[in-house]
Structure 1
Amino acid sequence: MTVLNETTAPTTAPPRLPDPHHAAASWLSVLRLPHCARLLGATLLGRLPLGVAPVALLLAVRDQGGSYTWGAALAAAFGLAVAAGQPMLGRLVDRIGQTIPILTGALLSAIALTVVPVAGTDRPITQLTAALVAGAAAPPLEASLRALWSQVVPSAAHLRAAYGLDSGSQELVYVAGPLLATAITALAGSTTALATTGLLGLAGAVTVASSTPSRAWRPTRTRTAGILGALRPAGLRTLLLALVAVGAALGALTVSALATAERYGIAWLSGALPAALSIGALIGCAVCTAIPWTESLGTQLVQAGAGFAISWLPLCLGPGPNASVVLAAVPGMFFGALLVSAYQAIDVLAHPGMVTESYGWLVSAFGVGTALGTASAGPWHGSLFVPAAAAATALALLHAVQSRLDRGMRS
């Protein structure tokens, strides 16, 4: 296998299955490869709006005297539009390449974010439309990067390490995003915060799209998969349903964390529990890519799913505030391992020539699941049994897809 150089013109590659006799590769070894550090760093920069915009939209509405309800509605509209737009833009990438969808999407999204504070709360339809456009046009950087990894790393071990580095580092977007939104708003106002958010996203998108691997990437010409597109393979649909359930567990935790904070009378718990899970995910990604693998891909996915499901149970027992923070990191660690295996599963199950759209659906699955989990946890007053039930559902679905993964079947 050859690492991409300045003269290599890649297309989508066949999936690289884990080799049980292959030693693990480190994250540092991935970052030292040509193009990898630039692609990862620019993708994280370009995806910052996904973490910043929801909070910045809420703060912009409040700055203009609007209600929390309207601010939350704009933030939710942005998130749902992202979930709808990613697979559609991914499909476009699979047809015409990465450059136009990434650059056009980033530019439209940046302009739309600027329109929200300019329109003001006295023009709610304009604000809502702008929030929807900003989300739907968000460039498919996450999916595009995962389509590029197999082109810029030299082995299956490096590919697994790249997926671990990718999934672990994306947690930084959702940790740093709200902090950045709050800081810029406090220093320069909400209008500047949204404008800066769009510019950061545009800068990251330009850096990715102008890189040699992205410019040289070409779609694989293949017969159409029909109206379902990338969703045609049954195994992929089952995997995506499992990831919706995983996302539901994460979304429910947001409400559960607030309920836990109110129950103990400790406000910081509402942020500490999700943060602990994110830190756990980063650790889990690092650990599962630092050691050699011996199990089949389907077994790895089910084992990670089982750990994710079981690790919610101690939290359901109400262990106390400090112990809850520590225990919240445990499902995060299994979530990190699950993500790495899920990325490899997409490579195996995706319809030929539709890998970017398939990764777009993965992003969408998590977004839809998070929204469903947040909504479903409310009537149960933030009970931690809700994320536990969602995780158990995910495990059942992962068992259903295991045999297809191990046979490398796409239909």
Structure 2
Amino acid sequence: MTYVEQLAAPARDSGRGRHAERPVGWAAVLRLPYTARLLGGTLMGRLPLGMAPVVLLLAVRAQSGSTAAGAALAAAYGLAVAAGQPLVGRLVDRVGQTAPTIVCAVLSATAFGALAVGGTTDPALACAGAVLAGVTAPSLEANLRTLWPLVVPTGRHLRAAYTLDSGSQELVYVAGPLLATVLTAAFGPAAALAVTGLLGLGGSLTVILAAPSRTWRPAPMRRPSLLGALRPRGMRMLLTALVAVGTALGALNVGAVTAGTQFGAGWLSGALPAAMSLGALGGSALFASLPSTAAAGTQLQFCAAAFALAWCPLALAEGPWTALACAALPGLLFGPLLTCCYQAIDLMAAPGTVTESYSWLVASFGIGTAAGTGLAGPLGGPLALPAAAAALALVLLLPMRGLLRRARPVAAAADYEAAL
């Protein structure tokens, strides 16, 4: 029985004793060939996603003094990333990872370089540069998740790799804004924009020059469709729910600023999102240490329910330190929820659409984050809004248990068996 087939049903005794169900730790995954390089390169290559919005905002504000214009430029970059990821992912599913990743990394780095040289004083040119940099962002996150089954030996290792992936990706949104702020303060926005592009290029090269990425070949698509990865009904339902999850995260960013003003602690504007991200890292590590004894649909629904409930204490927080502690609670469940979403995609992705499916996951979060930010602003950034968005995600995920039980795990199983 392959790993994805195991996901569709509760774990059973395989006749090899309890040792067969013992979880694999992150250290065991990182000791495997290529895993540390692939993960490290992906994190480095994705740093621009955390850096660019901050650098663009600071650059515009420094040159024109307009925070609103800077925010609009940062939003244009974020929406361009969300629009471009599925397109790049579909291209990867057709021709492999090497050529699309190289071309996109070079184009994105060139766009950041043009912004560094030309500045952001011309709104039209600045918007064009930001959109180009975003729409050509390499699909490194999706690429990595298609490679995990090729570089780990067992299903237990793959589950641990997914938790390591979901937890460590949060570091992009902790280290990225911090690095952007430090570089801009020390060397100016032009240098920060140039470094942003170079980091994306360097990380991409680190990944695509590794043997698993160079030799990966997409599975043939059985029934070509214009919908691509969106053809399975379950995939559309999952991605819609992930938009709601992203809405909760976007609303938190605005709510953190509001909380900082309300409690007289401006540092909360950065501390609350950082606390959630660090909580996600810890939650992923905890989830990896637990044995997997439930079917994928059960795990997904449980984590979604716990994620929704975890937002409630933050909505009721009455002081800055209480709010900071409460912000870590949804983070503890966010990492496990992401891992369950990866498992669901393994089960539901149509053959030949695995990379695009994971790219849509990235896009769904981007769309949701933008929607949460836009919705929370006019409402004044209430901390109850993330809880409402997470509750909506839970409602949208309720039918997933039955769909996952009936899913035919063909896509990831084919990739995994081809590597054996």
Residue of structure 1 equivalent to 2:56: 57
Query: SS in structure 2 opposite 1:33?
Result: coil
In the alignment, residue 11 of structure 2 is paired with which amino acid?
A: P
Residues 93 and 355 of structure 2 are in contact (CA less than 8 Å); yes or no, is this contact kept in structure 1? Answer: yes
Is 1:173 aligned to residue 172 of structure 2?
A: yes
Cα distance in structure 1, aligned partners of 2:253 and 2:224: 37
User: How far does residue 16 in structure 1 lie from its aligned partner after superposition?
Assistant: 5.5
Residue of structure 1 equivalent to 2:39: 40
Cα distance in structure 2, aligned partners of 1:17 and 1:244: 27
Cα distance in structure 2, aligned partners of 1:94 and 1:251: 30
In the alignment, residue 401 of structure 1 is paired with which amino acid?
A: M
Deviations 1:325-372 (A, max 9, x none): 111111111111101111111110111111000000000000000011
Cα distance in structure 2, aligned partners of 1:189 and 1:224: 51
Residue of structure 2 equivalent to 1:101: 100
Query: SS in structure 2 opposite 1:17?
Result: helix
Deviations 1:83-109 (A, max 9, x none): 011111000000000001111100000
Residues 236 and 410 of structure 1 are in contact (CA less than 8 Å); yes or no, is this contact kept in structure 2? Answer: no
In the alignment, residue 211 of structure 1 is paired with which amino acid?
A: A
Residue of structure 2 equivalent to 1:17: 6
- TM-score for the superposition, normalised by structure 2: 0.92
Check 1:410–1:217 CA distance in 2 against 1; reply closer, same or farther (3 A cut). Answer: closer
Q: Give the percent of matched residue pairs that are identical in Structure 1 and Structure 2.
A: 57
Residues 153 and 159 of structure 1 are in contact (CA less than 8 Å); yes or no, is this contact kept in structure 2? Answer: yes
User: How far does residue 299 in structure 1 lie from its aligned partner after superposition?
Assistant: 0.5
Larger mean CA deviation between 76-85 and 18-27 belongs to 18-27
Residues 23 and 288 of structure 2 are in contact (CA less than 8 Å); yes or no, is this contact kept in structure 1? Answer: yes
Structure 2 segments unaligned to the other structure (5+ residues): 13-20, 411-420
Query: SS in structure 1 opposite 2:141?
Result: helix
User: How far does residue 37 in structure 1 lie from its aligned partner after superposition?
Assistant: 0.5
In the alignment, residue 183 of structure 2 is paired with which amino acid?
A: I
Query: SS in structure 2 opposite 1:154?
Result: coil
Residue of structure 2 equivalent to 1:404: 403
Is 1:297 aligned to residue 296 of structure 2?
A: yes
User: How far does residue 27 in structure 1 lie from its aligned partner after superposition?
Assistant: 0.4
Cα distance in structure 2, aligned partners of 1:65 and 1:337: 42
Residue of structure 2 equivalent to 1:220: 219
Deviations 1:249-292 (A, max 9, x none): 01101111111111111111122211111111111111111111
User: How far does residue 24 in structure 1 lie from its aligned partner after superposition?
Assistant: 0.9
In the alignment, residue 300 of structure 1 is paired with which amino acid?
A: Q
Residue of structure 1 equivalent to 2:328: 329
Residue of structure 2 equivalent to 1:281: 280
Residue of structure 2 equivalent to 1:185: 184
In the alignment, residue 6 of structure 2 is paired with which amino acid?
A: L
Cα distance in structure 2, aligned partners of 1:123 and 1:378: 26
User: How far does residue 30 in structure 1 lie from its aligned partner after superposition?
Assistant: 0.4
Structure 1 segments unaligned to the other structure (5+ residues): 2-12
Residue of structure 1 equivalent to 2:305: 306
Query: What's the RMSD between the two structures over aligned residues?
Result: 1.7
Residue of structure 2 equivalent to 1:231: 230
Residue of structure 2 equivalent to 1:6: none
Residue of structure 1 equivalent to 2:15: none
Is 1:133 aligned to residue 122 of structure 2?
A: no
In the alignment, residue 20 of structure 1 is paired with which amino acid?
A: A
User: How far does residue 117 in structure 1 lie from its aligned partner after superposition?
Assistant: 3.3
Is 1:149 aligned to residue 148 of structure 2?
A: yes
User: How far does residue 112 in structure 1 lie from its aligned partner after superposition?
Assistant: 0.3
1:367-406 pair list within 5 angstroms = 367-406=366-405
Cα distance in structure 1, aligned partners of 2:120 and 2:377: 27
User: How far does residue 318 in structure 1 lie from its aligned partner after superposition?
Assistant: 3.0
Residues 260 and 270 of structure 1 are in contact (CA less than 8 Å); yes or no, is this contact kept in structure 2? Answer: yes
Residues 3 and 154 of structure 2 are in contact (CA less than 8 Å); yes or no, is this contact kept in structure 1? Answer: no
User: How far does residue 410 in structure 1 lie from its aligned partner after superposition?
Assistant: 7.9
Cα distance in structure 1, aligned partners of 2:382 and 2:255: 6
User: How far does residue 224 in structure 1 lie from its aligned partner after superposition?
Assistant: 3.7
User: How far does residue 305 in structure 1 lie from its aligned partner after superposition?
Assistant: 0.4
Cα distance in structure 2, aligned partners of 1:200 and 1:255: 28
Residues 17 and 344 of structure 1 are in contact (CA less than 8 Å); yes or no, is this contact kept in structure 2? Answer: no
Cα distance in structure 1, aligned partners of 2:11 and 2:225: 36
Residues 78 and 132 of structure 1 are in contact (CA less than 8 Å); yes or no, is this contact kept in structure 2? Answer: yes
Residues 235 and 409 of structure 1 are in contact (CA less than 8 Å); yes or no, is this contact kept in structure 2? Answer: no
User: How far does residue 31 in structure 1 lie from its aligned partner after superposition?
Assistant: 0.3
Deviations 1:279-314 (A, max 9, x none): 111111111111111111101010000001111112
Residue of structure 2 equivalent to 1:4: none
In the alignment, residue 368 of structure 1 is paired with which amino acid?
A: I
Cα distance in structure 2, aligned partners of 1:395 and 1:202: 37
Cα distance in structure 1, aligned partners of 2:382 and 2:408: 38
Residue of structure 2 equivalent to 1:7: none
Residue of structure 2 equivalent to 1:349: 348
Residue of structure 1 equivalent to 2:17: none
Cα distance in structure 1, aligned partners of 2:82 and 2:124: 21
Residue of structure 2 equivalent to 1:89: 88
Cα distance in structure 2, aligned partners of 1:319 and 1:402: 37
In the alignment, residue 17 of structure 1 is paired with which amino acid?
A: Q
Residue of structure 2 equivalent to 1:267: 266
Larger mean CA deviation between 220-229 and 281-290 belongs to 220-229
Residues 4 and 409 of structure 2 are in contact (CA less than 8 Å); yes or no, is this contact kept in structure 1? Answer: no
User: How far does residue 66 in structure 1 lie from its aligned partner after superposition?
Assistant: 4.5
Check 1:314–1:15 CA distance in 2 against 1; reply closer, same or farther (3 A cut). Answer: same
Residues 116 and 191 of structure 2 are in contact (CA less than 8 Å); yes or no, is this contact kept in structure 1? Answer: no
Larger mean CA deviation between 345-354 and 313-322 belongs to 313-322
Cα distance in structure 2, aligned partners of 1:400 and 1:162: 27
Cα distance in structure 1, aligned partners of 2:248 and 2:393: 9
